[in-house]
Structure 1
Amino acid sequence: MQGRAEGNKGESDALASLGVAAAAKAIRNREISSESYANALLQRARDYADLNSFITIDEDAVLQAARAADKLVASGITAPLLGVPVAVKDSYLTEGLRSTIGLSTLGHFVPEHDADSVQAIRDGGGIIFGKNNLVEMSFGLTGHNEAFGQAKNPHNVDHVSGGSSGGGGVSVAARLVPASLGGDTIGSIRVPASLCGVVGFKPTTGRWPRAGVAPISHTLDTTGVFARNVDDCILIDRVVTRDETPDSNADSSLRGVTLAYAPRQYLELVAPEVAARFLETIRRFRDAGANVVEVDLGRDFSGRALTATWNIFFRETKAAVEKFIRQNNVPTTFDAIVEGLKPGLKNVWGHLVLPTGEGYISDDVYHQALWAERAEIKRRYAEAFSNTGAQALILPTTPSVAPMIGQEDKILLGDHEASQLVLANNTIPASAAGLPGVSLPMGVSDKGLPIGLELDGPFGRDRALLYVARRVERVLGTLSAPV
């Protein structure tokens, strides 16, 4: 019996290791059933429930949808994601499946409609597997939730997942699902992707639909995806944008690709092991035939980007959340949400989000950030791409590996100690400019913790950026399952 159980587990783990495109193809060719694939994922979700990556999974609904998909396959019907389960950050509304936005006060809220991105996944044949854990209202970078617990890094459970979409990064890295929809305002997809060792794609702001997703900032918010490889991100991108343009079969090597990097902006405040890995990665790219050029975005670039982005971020939250509640019949109020926040976050909102707060952003400061500072940041990016001919700007996604749980505000960057906010320092500028960005693993630290590489592309050039990222991935490889 023990040998049989071990054999079944091996088969289950092999199924769970399939990515989106591989699983879709195997189901379409009737090499596996959607039901067997879903069962394998559900078993791993049970086995690794201690990672705390999900708030809600309706197992019966998942299996019912998988059986329905198998019947469609048998009848000859096809769809790009037919029978493939996909997880969803619990800030997305999901019809018939509770949507908490990370708040205990919404623990029984079951929406009557899907977020637009969720509907696109369903229309593409995908199955909604469950709702991923997140930081309350998506406000936080470590993956801690007071009501639903800390999402734990599968490479070492004593370390954080990153946030706010931490559960998504964990569930994809741990092979509980092949992909997860997340949200990114200042780095909430790219930070967990970096810390958990998966691919995280933030589209150009506004390119993916955002309706039905709990917001922070209408200027900065974007939906996006975690996956195990870039090809799977490309497939999900095609489904969500309903873009039937055939995939490009361009050269898979880096020969002829120009990549830019900006050491003054992205390497001056990073941990030594991250800087060393990044410089080694540049050497590997050059050895692979890429033209890697240095650029300087200006000494004041990072400071301007950080200040402007945070001013927009905090100023837009109240109006955005109130509009979301009103438009989606969410059974709460803005005041009730504030009252239910964990103490530290409640203090932040009281100081910066509420108009009565001492740090509330004035109209003048907000408009300066929105119209003047963002325009300058966009101009410098555009100039860098134009002057160098680079297809992407490369940088370390996060300045450190995942900090230990309980040490989130004591992140050591050389001899400098920083708070968790530093985790978004490198991701924020692209958010300010609305650029597409992809984070993918470029290796691990001496302690086995992932180190992420970000590629930012010109505004609106998402598919071209993904194709470059795919070529980069073929040099770097992907990380094996951590658990």
Structure 2
Amino acid sequence: LTSLGLAAAAAAVGNGDITSEVYTTALLQRARALAELNAFITIDEVAVLEAARDADKARAAGSAAPLLGVPLGVKDSYLTKGLPTSLGVEGLSHFVPREDADAVRAIKGAGALVFGKNNLVEMSYGLTGHNARYGQVKNPHARDRVSGGSSSGSAASVAAGLVPASLGGDTVGSIRVPASFCGVVGFKPTTGRWPRYGVAPISHTLDTTGVFARSVEDCILVDQVVTGEEAAEFSDGGYGLKGARLAFAPRQFLDLVDSEVETRFRVVVRRLQEAGAEVVEVDLGEDFNALVQTATWGIFAHETMGAVSEFLRRHDIPTTFEAIYEGLKPQLRQAWGHIVLPGGAGATSAEAYQTALNVSRPEIQRRLNTAFVSHGALVILQPTTPCTAPLIEERATVHIAGQEVSYLALANHTVSA
């Protein structure tokens, strides 16, 4: 049962092939058996089993809700009514919201159950999956390796078969990086497509909510539920690629990658060509990567303090930005002091922020749009991460292509235009 994908599980429960209680019990047993992964901060077993029984009663009464009785994970940056929401920090370990985030409300409205709250990097600020209070999330495929972050527990729980899908969030790679490392599908919607109300922010410009699942089909199902939009119809014969034009930019996205990643990526390109796609090479400009780094991190860090402070105030959360900052693990507190706090040595000035927002970001978007329009490309292909999951180590650097670089390089390809 635990190997079922979201759509398959929803169909099985909806058709009466299995009950929600039986399915939920199987997932709970697996979560207990794999507790060392640290994928969850909170699971209220009594509450989720009660919700499963209620779902079974609803089905017996005629409900045909699309996710009826299917448990989903939820990143612990989402407010969940009646279930603790820690944001990954010690000071909020006992905070219980009085309301659900909009995306949580949407999945509940479709009949889904909140299985538990997934572990994450403190305040969603990191890419490896380490949390000083709740532990390092371990990669289900190799437990000595990182899961990726910041939506670490969400990705790991789906990869390990603890839940068929889980809600996450992405600002500069927090869905895409852990999805890559854990081998699941991570869907980062276009910013603004999914509601963000009730989800702890980092950057109002770049943040988006999203989902992890084991297939594109499953991600489409959650997207339909959250947005209320119908998906495009596809034939049962699959997805034809004959005549489709795809682009890739080796100068930008193969510049600093492990040889194994480049080899696998080029195999994918060849297979797409063999399936009938036309793959064209594009160049986004010699300064593209530098432009992306400056714009992304400049916007990201400059907006954090204001975004977090406003979120705490709006939702009546019993802490302050200053208290959260003081409680961060030393490495993260040092980073915030350097780039987030006004006056920090690496803080983005108001002028530089406006340049990043109003000059650099539109230029990035213009170049990407040119690649699509001028070359008629439907997709720009790129490796999601420049390496496979690194070993779990207490270091701020990783080795990529024989070079020791900042762990922030794990997000080099997750362009946040």
Aligned residue for 2:210, secondary structure, equals: strand
> Is the 8 Å Cα contact of residues 54 and 132 (structure 1) preserved in structure 2?
yes
Deviations for 1:29-72, whole angstroms, at most 9, x for unmatched residues?
A: 10011111101111100000000000000011111111111111
User: Does the Cα contact within 8 Å between 2:220 and 2:231 map onto a contact in 1?
Assistant: no
Matched, 1:404 2:366: no
CA distance in 2, matches of 1:222, 1:241: 13
Partner AA of 1:312 in structure 2: I
Please list, as runs of the form range in 1=range in 2, the aligned pairs for 1:216-231 lying within 5 A after superposition.
Answer: 216-231=202-217
Aligned residue for 1:94, secondary structure, equals: coil
Unaligned runs of 5+ in 2: none
Q: In structure 2, do the counterparts of structure 1 residues 306 and 42 end up closer, same or farther at CA, with 3 Å as the change threshold?
A: same
What is the match of residue 342 of structure 1?
A: 329
The 8 Å contact of residues 62 and 128 in structure 1, kept in 2 or not, is answered as yes
The equivalent residue for 2:30 is 44
Q: Match of 2:219?
A: 233
Q: What's the counterpart of residue 65 of structure 2?
A: 79
Matched positions, count: 416
Distance 1:266 1:109 in 2: 42
Q: Describe the SS at the equivalent of 1:157.
A: strand
Q: 1:245 to 1:281 in 2, by over 3 A?
A: closer
Secondary structure of residue in 1 paired with 2:105: helix
Aligned to 1:478: none
Matches within 5 A, 1:182-201: 182-201=168-187
> Is the 1:272–1:413 Cα contact (8 Å) retained in structure 2?
no
Over residues 206-262 of structure 1, what are the superposed CA-to-partner deviations in whole Å (9 max), with x where a residue is unaligned? 110000000000000000000000000000000011124564438523222221110
Runs of at least 4 residues off by over 6 Å: none
Query: Which residue of the partner structure matches residue 367 of structure 2?
Result: 380
TM superposition shift of 1:408: 5.1
SS at match of 1:159: strand
Per the TM alignment, residue 200 of structure 1 is displaced from its structure 2 partner at its CA by: 0.2
C-alpha RMSD over aligned residues: 1.1
Q: Secondary structure at the match of 2:56?
A: helix
Q: How far did residue 416 of structure 1 move?
A: 1.4
- 2:128 pairs with 1:139: no
Amino acid paired to 1:329:
D
Q: 1:326-365 residue pairs with structure 2 within 5 A?
A: 326-365=313-352
Matches within 5 A, 1:75-474: 75-245=61-231, 247-249=233-235, 251-406=238-393, 409-427=396-414, 429=415, 431=416, 433=417
User: Match for 1:302: what amino acid?
Assistant: N
CA deviation string 1:421-480 (max 9, x = no partner): 1100000x2x1x2xxxxxxxxxxxxxxxxxxxxxxxxxxxxxxxxxxxxxxxxxxxxxxx
Q: Aligned to 1:128, what secondary structure does the other structure show? A: strand
- Contact 1:142-1:408 at 8 Å conserved across structures: no
**Post-superposition offset of 1:414:** 2.3
Three-state SS of the structure 2 residue aligned to 1:381 is helix
AA of the residue aligned to 2:64: T
Q: Distance in 2 between matches of 1:272 and 1:300?
A: 23
SS in 1 for 2:271: helix
State the TM-score, normalizing by the size of structure 1.
0.85
Check conservation: 1:51, 1:157, Cα contact below 8 A.
yes
Q: Distance in 2 between matches of 1:74 and 1:408?
A: 53
Report the secondary structure of 1:87's partner residue.
strand
Match of 1:34 among 20, 38, 47: 20
Q: Which residue of 1 aligns with 2:55?
A: 69
Supply the distance in 2 between the matched residues of 1:407 and 1:108 (Cα, whole angstroms).
Answer: 28
Please give the alpha-carbon distance, in whole angstroms, between the structure 1 residues aligned to 2:99 and 2:348. 34
